[in-house]
Chain A
Amino acid sequence: MSTSTTKSAIPESNYKAGADGLLLEVEDLFVEFHTPEGVARAINGVSFDLRQGETLAILGESGSGKSVTAQAIMGILDMPPAVIPSGAIRYCGQDLLTMNQEQRRKSRGPEISMIFQDALSSLNPTFPVGWQIGEMFRQHRGMNRSDAYAQAVRLMERVAIPGAKDRVKNYPHQFSGGMRQRIMIAMAIALDPAVLIADEPTTALDVTVQAQIMALLAELQEERQMGLILITHDLGVVADVADRAAVMYAGRIVARAGIEDLYAHPAHPYTRGLLESIPRLDQKGQTLAAIGGLPPNLTRIPSGCTFHPRCRMAQDICRTEEPALRTVGNQQSACHFAEEVLNG
């Protein structure tokens, strides 16, 4: 996973990717939240896998279960209220859900790492940024303070923070949003993880900065051959970066495709709706096409196809029968009329 050696001794990893570069397998994962209002079924049978050097985009609206999936993989869901009734999350063949807590905690950082949406609040305001990046080395590799600072400077240079040496002792509030997200990325990649999960990494940033951050992520992923999971609701952001995409709706994956197919020939009405709702310059003055209605309340998921109340193509069968994820052309779609969508 690493292209060259670091100055410090890296402990030998207990995890080895599969022969085909398989890193992460999520299999039929269910997550529920037990709330006073009832059981919210946030994730309902999600499966996907991730290989070395591959970027998987998980797309969907707010509340579709994207972030919960990420947090379930990281093991940072608060349990309770969250419950994982069934499913498996395998990292290099080992099931993270049955692993002991301490072993799993130690895998966070050096093996699987995560970047959060709001760079403004994901750094601790009371410590200098260099101290926080260095904490990764002190905690996981027992490095001393000055070596850890040196590593922090190196990482800050790597994520292109200008004047890293002078700014290593600055506090988070002295950096702009984009710079803070770079620092968060530096922390996340500090220990050379094999898998990086980026949960809406650019949502809180300006459009121009978004492009820079995406470019940085893509570059780091290429350089280190990480498996990258990119979670976003913004289809525009991932087009250039991702290899494959999975579209989530109401805690299910409703479509899966290579990124080009997904954009060019969507095979699910929801994907098509998402694509149509991207504002376009050549349609100035027209009403923005939005998907009508709201995502379902997860305590009362609709029968049949969960998308039917908002779907323009819905028929009787959609209200009663839940469509399975099936192969249509060279992609997958969970729609009774996938062929029609694909060809229409």
Chain B
Amino acid sequence: MSDTVASTVQPAAVEEVGEARSLGQDAWRSLRSNAMFWSAVLLIGLFVLMSIWPSLFTKTDPSFGNISNVRATPSAEHWFGTDTQGYDIYARTIYGARASILVGVLASLTTLLLGGVIGVVSGFYGRWLDALLSRITDIFYAIPLILGGILFMASFPNGPNSNYFIVVGKVVLVLTVFGWPTIARLMRSSVLQVKPNEYVLAARALGASPWRIIRSHILPNALAPAIVVATINLGVFIVVEATLSFLGIGLTPPAISWGVAISDALSSIRTYPHVLFFPSLFLSLAVLAFILLGDAVRDAFDPKSR
């Protein structure tokens, strides 16, 4: 290849060059000035901090129950009062964040991974593989998340001394098994949208391998919707975890979780509503935060909303 031959073709003038921005950078610019995004980030940051270092927020032991002081109303000593076992509600709510955040984040990641891989494979390779994977997706899609969760957790109940991480892992597993079809369908349809683009054909014509086409051309252009839905799903998974725990089949005591706390509080809902109020409030805030984040991210990735 020679550079010595002078080019006879010279465009008239040098164009003005704008600042280089990728889709991600564009999205970040739009997020940066979005108040909804920052409040969601603030809340999520708080919850994440709570689940990693709960001792930053409270010095009280959540497993210390004082039977002589049950269902106490909020006071200086017990900010949120105490529950039916005499546990400090504030401490238990703080410690309960870990289960919800852990389940939500892990289940979102695993569904994104599993659903993403299945969606990409069926969208990209098509034909019989697509037919097969799509039918499997449909079968799992037809089972409601809660129903599947109840069936699974009732069939494999937790023992009284089960390891905390095994208990959490089981809930994550069940959410993954019944939660991936949404992502897979979404991923498949966005891969189908990206695939006919001429840059994919051009990449093939220039000798790119299928793996490189998926990695460099399909994924970066098809991933945004799946990320958005996975973020919104995070809130949904937290709710399902709380629901399963509420039904006594998700996380079970001694594991501390908002769902367990809500379930315990139900027996005294009329007489001591504050026992129910605080864990419910935190649960709602966490779900709200993730859904707000999902909304903000969706708007940022959608060029039409700008």
Q: Do A and B bind each other?
A: yes
For the side of the interface on B, what is the size category?
35 or more
A170 lies within 8 A of B20 (CB): yes
Decide yes or no whether A34 CB sits under 8 A from chain B: no
Given known A-B contacts A160-B9, A160-B10, A179-B15, A124 and B199 have beta carbons under 8 A apart:
yes
Inter-chain contact B2/A171, CB cutoff 8 Å: no
Interface residues as binary, A137-164 with B (CB distance below 8 Å gives 1, 0 otherwise): 0011000000000000010011110110
Question: Cβ of A122 and Cβ of B202 under 8 Å apart?
Answer: yes
Is B209 on the interface with A (CB-CB < 8 A)? yes
**Contact call A2/B1, Cβ cutoff below 8 A:** yes
Bound: A215/B11 CA distance, A: 12
* B15 proximity list for chain A (CB < 8 A): 162, 175-176, 179
Chain A nearest CB: distance from B203 CB in Å? 8
Q: In the complex, are the beta carbons of A169 and B201 less than 8 A apart?
A: no
Residues of A within 8 A of B199 (CB): 121-125
CB distance from B197 to the nearest CB of A (A): 6
A→B interface (CB under 8 Å): 2-4, 6, 74, 76, 80, 105-110, 113-114, 116-118, 121-128, 135-136, 139-140, 154, 157-160, 162-163, 166-167, 169-171, 174-176, 178-179, 184, 187-189, 192, 212, 215-216, 219, 223-224
| Interface residue SS majority, chain B | loop
Question: What is the bound-complex CA distance between A127 and B13, given in angstroms?
Answer: 25
Q: Which chain A residues border B216 with CB–CB below 8 Å? A: 124, 127, 135
- The distance from the CB of A214 to the nearest CB of chain B, in whole angstroms, is 9
* Shortest Cβ distance from residue A301 to the other chain B in the assembled complex, whole angstroms: 26
Tell whether, in the assembled complex, residue B10 and residue A184 are in contact, meaning their CB atoms are under 8 Å apart. Answer: no
Residues on B with beta carbons closer than 8 Å to the beta carbon of A135 = 208, 212, 216
B18, A174: Cβ atoms closer than 8 Å: yes
Given contacts A124-B216, A158-B7, A176-B15, contact A76 B1 (CB under 8 A): no
Contacts of A2 in B (CB 8 A): 1-2
Q: Which of B7, B197, B204 contacts A76 (CB 8 A)?
A: B204
Sample of 9 A–B contacts (CB below 8 Å) = A76-B201, A123-B199, A125-B199, A126-B22, A139-B208, A170-B17, A171-B20, A187-B206, A216-B7
Once the chains bind, are A139 and B198 in contact (CB under 8 Å)? no
* Chain A residue with Cβ nearest B209: A105
A158 & B17 in contact (Cβ 8 Å cutoff): no
Measured CB to CB, the residues of B under 8 A from A are 1-5, 7-11, 13-15, 17-18, 20-23, 127, 197-199, 201-209, 212, 216-217, 220-221
Q: Which residues of A contact B9 (CB under 8 A)?
A: 160, 212, 215-216, 219
Q: How far is the CB of A65 from chain B (nearest CB, A)?
A: 17
The residue of chain A having its C-beta at the shortest distance from the C-beta of B197 within the complex is A121
Bound CA span A143–B117, Å: 29
For residue A160, which residues in chain B have a CB less than 8 angstroms away from its CB?
7, 9-11
A contact residues around B206 at 8 Å (CB): 108-109, 113-114, 136, 187-188
Inter-chain contact B198/A162, CB cutoff 8 Å? no
| Interchain CB contact under 8 A, A126 and B202 | no
**Nearest residue, chain B, Cβ from A162:** B14
Enumerate chain A residues within 8 angstroms of B13, measured Cβ to Cβ.
Answer: 162
Q: Are B221 and A121 in contact (CB under 8 A)?
A: no
Additional A-B contacts beyond A80-B127, A192-B1 (11; CB < 8 A) = A2-B2, A76-B205, A105-B209, A124-B221, A125-B23, A125-B221, A158-B1, A162-B14, A166-B17, A178-B11, A187-B202
- Enumerate chain B residues within 8 angstroms of A166, measured Cβ to Cβ: 17
Closest approach, in angstroms, between the C-beta of A200 and any C-beta of chain B? 12
| CB-CB under 8 A for A215 and B8, given A113-B205, A187-B206, A224-B1 | yes
If A126-B23, A174-B20 touch, does A110 touch B207 (CB 8 Å cutoff)? yes
* Smallest beta-carbon distance A231→chain B, Å: 13
Asked whether B221 lies within 8 Å of A157 as measured between CB atoms, the reply is: no
